[in-house]
Amino acid sequence: MSIIAHLPSTLILWDVDHTLIENGGVSKATYASAFELLTGRAPSVRPVTDGRTDFEIMHELLSANSVDAGEYVEIAQFEGVLVEAMKRNMSQLPQRGHILPGVVEVLALLSALPGAVQSVLTGNIASNARAKLSAFSLDGWVDFDVGGFGSDGTTRSSLVGVARRKALKKYGATFDQSSTVLVGDTPLDIKAARDGGARIIAVATGVYSASQLAEAGADVTLDSLADTDRFMTALVSLRAGLAC
């Protein structure tokens, strides 16, 4: 049990896949379904996902399967098929996926701290992010009114500013570079924090190792969220401007 009882006002933005949950291949199946809904055939080349936004994933999936993606310039053009594809695949999530170790404990600890606002910064469109977290009963821990989603922009880096603007509108609080902390598992999460002006705790629960994430410029790198005290200590140290 963590002994940390105080955290200065902080916007904590969670990545979803491979940070909070392992989706067990349901994400890739969902993009394949969306491709099929859009084109009338199954993709022969599988989607590449890690850290990308839904727009980037769909765009690259079309190109990789020799479909002209030039006419697709905004996420709204993919939203309908992505929502329908998730509806078709989401019942598989609890069977094939799981919550990653320590996640519930960390979300619960943070929710008890008055200064913490928890939301999501994810490449998933908002409705699909909600569907994924709902499948594991994690949706109640994060504030979906704020946060940045793949439906808010085409690049991950642009979503940090989106989340901040939503948080300002709802809470009347300005979250800056030192008070916005991302948690994610890929170099693209780290790039989003750097480009968007935020701090980042990287977790090696996806395909990237702790040393790869450290090399990519994470402020803190953890093997997982299983050690909740270590996560909380890292978060408080980051907020205090201390090296960790």
Q: Are 113 and 88 in contact (CB under 8 A)?
A: no
Coil, helix or strand at residue 227:
coil
CB of 215 to Mg ion, least distance (A): 17
Question: Which position among 7, 17, 93, 131 is part of the footprint of Mg ion (CB under 5 A)?
Answer: 17
Coil, helix or strand at residue 231:
helix
Q: Which helix or strand (DSSP H or E) is residue 119 part of?
A: strand 116-120
Own/partner contacts of 30-33, CB < 8 Å, gap of 24 or more, are 30/82, 30/85, 30/86, 30/88, 30/89, 30/128, 31/57, 31/58, 31/61, 31/82, 31/85, 33/81, 33/84, 33/85, 33/88, 33/89
Residues linked to residue 171 through DSSP beta bridges, in sequence order: none
CB of 132 to Mg ion, least distance (A): 11
Using CB under 5 A as the binding rule, whether residue 105 contacts Mg ion is answered as no
The residue among 113 and 160 lying less far from Mg ion, judged by its C-beta, is 160
Using CB under 5 A as the binding rule, whether residue 15 contacts Mg ion is answered as yes
Q: Total residues contacting Mg ion (rule CB under 5 A)?
A: 4
The residue among 121 and 167 lying less far from Mg ion, judged by its C-beta, is 121
Using CB under 5 A as the binding rule, whether residue 54 contacts Mg ion is answered as no
CB of 76 to Mg ion, least distance (A): 23
Q: What are the tokens at 88?
A: 């078709």
CB of 190 to Mg ion, least distance (A): 11
Using CB under 5 A as the binding rule, whether residue 18 contacts Mg ion is answered as yes
CB of 114 to Mg ion, least distance (A): 28
The residue among 50 and 84 lying less far from Mg ion, judged by its C-beta, is 50
The residue among 57 and 85 lying less far from Mg ion, judged by its C-beta, is 57
Using CB under 5 A as the binding rule, whether residue 22 contacts Mg ion is answered as no
Q: What are the tokens at 63?
A: 């190109």
Smallest CA-to-CA distance from 32 within 56, 58, 52 is with 58
Residues 169 to 228 in contact with Mg ion, rule: CB under 5 A = 185
Residues 113 to 172 in contact with Mg ion, rule: CB under 5 A = none
DSSP state of 44: S
**Contact residues: Mg ion, CB under 5 A:** 15, 17-18, 185
